[in-house]
Chains A and B, each alone.
Chain A
């Protein structure tokens, strides 16, 4: 079957760094994406890794290791507005996104 595993909840302090891990097992792989979703809102695209390594976009970075079927999202200089759910998603061989169950990030002052 196809599955993605990520922690259900993470708590961190404002200004800190947090890493959200994602391991996957899918039929075919065309890249790992990360989405942010605030309660009641649309999932918002954050980053995409097709090749191994680190991609940096401002305070957010995403890493991929295809040999380990593993990736992570790194959030630096956490702000209160970063409190949200974060989903990893793999694009499989038929190009659809397979999502993890999401990680709820709570940023505390």
Chain B
């Protein structure tokens, strides 16, 4: 069974540019989560999808971040325009049920210069 995959693995962009991160969850997992780890700090929750619906987006930093999960399969997280403080590693995770363990992808390392 394939795990959670994320693309790209690394992205370097300039301040003000736009970047779109993609996450493909484990097949059949209705729950998809986005997390972020900034500068060696703790991993912080961004938002949670159940199928194509946003269940909880309380962790989204501001309106420069837009997450979508059309069709309830893969998800994208767009940052527009990117700021320096957006640099970090963005993780995606999925789970079969809400209370089941979450499986993480390898992350996308975003560097904003």
Contacts and interface: CB of A to CB of B under 8 A. Distances in A.
Contact of A45 (B41, B45, B103, B106): B103
Q: How large is the interface on A (under 10, 10 to 19, 20 to 34, 35 or more residues)?
A: 20 to 34
Interface stretch (B13-21, B62-70, B71-79, B94-102): B94-102
A87 interface: yes
B107 A91 contact: no
Q: How large is the interface on B (under 10, 10 to 19, 20 to 34, 35 or more residues)?
A: 20 to 34
A45 B101 contact: yes
B99 A43 contact: no
A98 interface: yes
Interface in B35-81: 35, 41-45, 48, 55-56, 58-59
Interface of B: 3-4, 33, 35, 41-45, 48, 55-56, 58-59, 91, 98-99, 101-107
